[in-house]
Amino acid sequence: MEILADEKIKELKDIANKIRISIVAMLYNAGSGHTAGALGMTDILTLLYFHILKHNPKDPFWKERDRLILSNGHTCPVLYTTMAYAGYFPKEELLTLRKFGSRLQGHPHREFINFIETSSGPLGEGLAQAVGMAIADKIDGNVHYIYAILSDGEHEEGSTWEAVMLANKEKLSNLIVIVDRNKIQIDGNTEVVMPLLDLKDKYESFGWFAQEVSGHDFWELNNAIYKAKIHREGPSVIITNTIPGKGVKEWENDYKWHGKVPNKKEAEMAINELSKNYA
Amino acid sequence: MLNQSLKLNTKIFDENPDKKSTRSGFGEGLVNAGSTNEDVVVLCADLTESTKVNLFAERFPNRFIQVGIAEQNLASVASGMAAMGKIPFIASYAMFSPGRNWEQIRTTICYNNQPVKIIGSHAGLSVGPDGGSHQALEDIALARVIPNMTVISPVDAIEAKKVAVACATTKEPTYIRLARNDTPIITTEETPFEIGKAQLIFVPEVGLAHVGIIATGPISYSAILAAKELEKQNIKIKVLNLSTIKPLDKNSIIALAKETKVIVTCEDHQANGGMGSAVAECLAGNYPVPIKFVGIKDQFGQSGTPEELAKHYKIDTSSIIEAVENILKKKIS
């Protein structure tokens, strides 16, 4: 895999910043949705779509493409926006989020936008689907990588752990899971609502190759994904420590921004702050 | 008399007709489906032998996935495999799949419209001694309310075998309801089968029928025994085998109602929300007639032999006869 040159990192940072501005604008326009997680995961999705994934936006059903499952579907503004910037559909369409007749449903629905890999929203189901894809790929001779993005909160769903066990049993080395460890959920801090403790430890005890990195350091994240790809003994997980609301100081690490959107003033303030990154 | 245009089993009225469970027939059909299509895969949640998918697992070990006691995972993993082009059959008891994993089936299978085939074995009171916790009496209701889902409840082992082969070729998510116990073989290998097509398995020798009975699953045997018994009282019956509960064969149901003006439905399931309710929804909107529902009346089951339970919960042959006699009194001619 290509090493991330300084130039490339600069380019990725620039794209991520533009994506964050679009996310704020689309959520303001939508009037409802989830802000903190989308901004916190922007760097991860940017790296995946602009450096890691084998994909072709001009041919979304290309058989050889890697698969990316977004399990925590409520963060879909970041998926939609990143895919639009990657060239899957016009950026103008982002402003239709959550509106009647839009392809951009409040939570992703394949019937409306058939080139996403799965519908999601109800938590604790994405990993199992990714495991199913990885098993199918293993039967067909391991020709793809299957990536799954999970929130930390959905590790409170027992079904997530059913999938964790099966992935180890089937030794799915084509499966790479990225956990958005932002430590917030709707009702508060994850460690208060339901202590998840050390997720890396937990995955290791289930037989996985586990790493923990910053979700905002492109170089570190890229390295971790590279190590996961060359690990051929079983499934890999990367716990990425992220800052919910990343990029807008006032919103960072505040769980109240999990499920709310900015009003006009707040959106202007945020876009103004993000725009300064170009200075 | 048996409708012999369907080439049914002529020995069905013998004292001891040949019997076999629908789960066994389906298990055999699955091997046939797997032989002709390499994309067919089977997943099971620790009930390989009792759901009879062991036949497939032994023949195609590389296409069999044991997920352990984890029905939620069973459904979602299958959805992921279907997204990669496989045709997954998932096997468990009806109580746990679609009982335990209903939301996974709704979201990951039906909302995505993936061709996953859900095998719910040990459905109905006929599980017998295991008791009420294991007797799925709500599964038809659970399955048929989900958009995109096909629901099939085979009448006997031979039909179940054909269902396995047929649904391996369709793109729809499908729920197949199977029973544990050996039940009489009503059809033959020559009997035609098509998903979505109901069949009149019992008809009067001459003339029009007085009462239409619509049955689904192995209880159809009790329905034709009832019909034969009623013939002696000169009450003419048509019995419609409604194996496919969704999509509903509305034309056959409406045609029967138009002829008989009264309907009795029979199922080894709650009367609430099951096959009878589907029939009632259809007729209420198209050709309203009085309906008597033979099914479980808002109760849980208990331990006993299938025969004892059918009698106690009033879904046996004499309960069907009684329902026919009662509904005849409501008939407005």
- Is A131's CB within 8 Å of B80's CB? yes
Domains, chain B, ordered by start:
4-9+193-329 (3.40.50.920), 19-184 (3.40.50.970)
Cβ atoms within 10 Å of A249's Cβ, excluding its own: 10
- Is B83's CB within 8 Å of A163's CB? no
The predicted model gives A182-197 an average pLDDT of 95
Task: Check residue B333 and give its pLDDT.
Answer: 58
A81-109 as b/e, with b when 16 or more CB fall inside 10 Å? bbbbbbebbeeebbebbbeeebbbbbbbb
Pairwise CA distance, residues A22 & B248, whole Å: 47
Establish whether B322 is a catalytic residue.
Answer: no
Structural tokens at position B13:
């009225």
Residues in chain A: 279
Share the mean pLDDT of chain A: 96
| Set B28, B71, B138, B267: catalytic member | B71
Task: Check residue B101 and give its pLDDT.
Answer: 98
Q: Give backbone dihedrals phi and psi of B10, rounded to 5 degrees, phi first.
A: -70, -15
Task: Check residue A137 and give its pLDDT.
Answer: 98
ipTM at complex level: 0.95
The predicted model gives B6-15 an average pLDDT of 97
Structural tokens at position A152:
């930390």
Nearest Cα of chain B lies from the Cα of A143 at a distance, in angstroms, of 12
The predicted model gives A96-105 an average pLDDT of 96
Confirm or reject contact between B44 and chain A (CB < 8 A).
Answer: no
The predicted model gives B54-59 an average pLDDT of 98
The predicted model gives A199-222 an average pLDDT of 98
Nearest CA in chain B to A67: B84
The predicted model gives A236-244 an average pLDDT of 98
Nearest Cα of chain B lies from the Cα of A156 at a distance, in angstroms, of 14
Task: Check residue B332 and give its pLDDT.
Answer: 66
Confirm or reject contact between B116 and chain A (CB < 8 A).
Answer: no
The predicted model gives A238-243 an average pLDDT of 98
Confirm or reject contact between A125 and chain B (CB < 8 A).
Answer: yes
- Is A132's CB within 8 Å of B78's CB? yes
β partners of residue B136: B123
Q: Is pLDDT above 70 for A234?
A: yes
The predicted model gives A122-151 an average pLDDT of 97
Task: Check residue A199 and give its pLDDT.
Answer: 98
Question: Which of B60, B97, B102, B108 to probe by mutation at the A interface, max A CB count within 10 Å?
Answer: B108
Domains, chain A, ordered by start:
6-278 (3.40.50.970)
Nearest Cα of chain B lies from the Cα of A270 at a distance, in angstroms, of 35
Interface of B with A in 254-313 (CB under 8 A): none
| Closest by CA position to B78, among listed B93, B65, B69, B96 | B65
Q: Is pLDDT above 70 for B281?
A: yes
Confirm or reject contact between A134 and chain B (CB < 8 A).
Answer: yes
Q: Is pLDDT above 60 for A1?
A: no
Confirm or reject contact between A121 and chain B (CB < 8 A).
Answer: yes
Q: How confident is the model at residue A142 (pLDDT cuts 50, 70, 90)?
A: confident
Cβ atoms within 10 Å of B332's Cβ, excluding its own: 7
Task: Check residue B330 and give its pLDDT.
Answer: 84
Query: What are the tens digits of pLDDT across the range B180-208?
Result: 999 999 999 999 999 999 999 999 999 99
Question: Which of A61, A62, A113, A139 to probe by mutation at the B interface, max B CB count within 10 Å?
Answer: A139
The predicted model gives A92-97 an average pLDDT of 97
Q: Is pLDDT above 80 for B59?
A: yes
Nearest CA in chain B to A114: B112
Task: Check residue A2 and give its pLDDT.
Answer: 64
Task: Check residue B331 and give its pLDDT.
Answer: 82
Q: Is A183 helix (H, G, I), strand (E, B) or coil?
A: coil
Share of chain A above pLDDT 90, in %: 96
Query: What are the tens digits of pLDDT across the range B217-257?
Result: 999 999 999 999 999 999 999 999 999 999 999 999 999 99
The separation between CA B89 and the C-alpha centre of its own chain, rounded to angstroms, equals 17
Task: Check residue B126 and give its pLDDT.
Answer: 87
Task: Check residue A76 and give its pLDDT.
Answer: 97
Confirm or reject contact between A139 and chain B (CB < 8 A).
Answer: yes
Confirm or reject contact between A133 and chain B (CB < 8 A).
Answer: yes
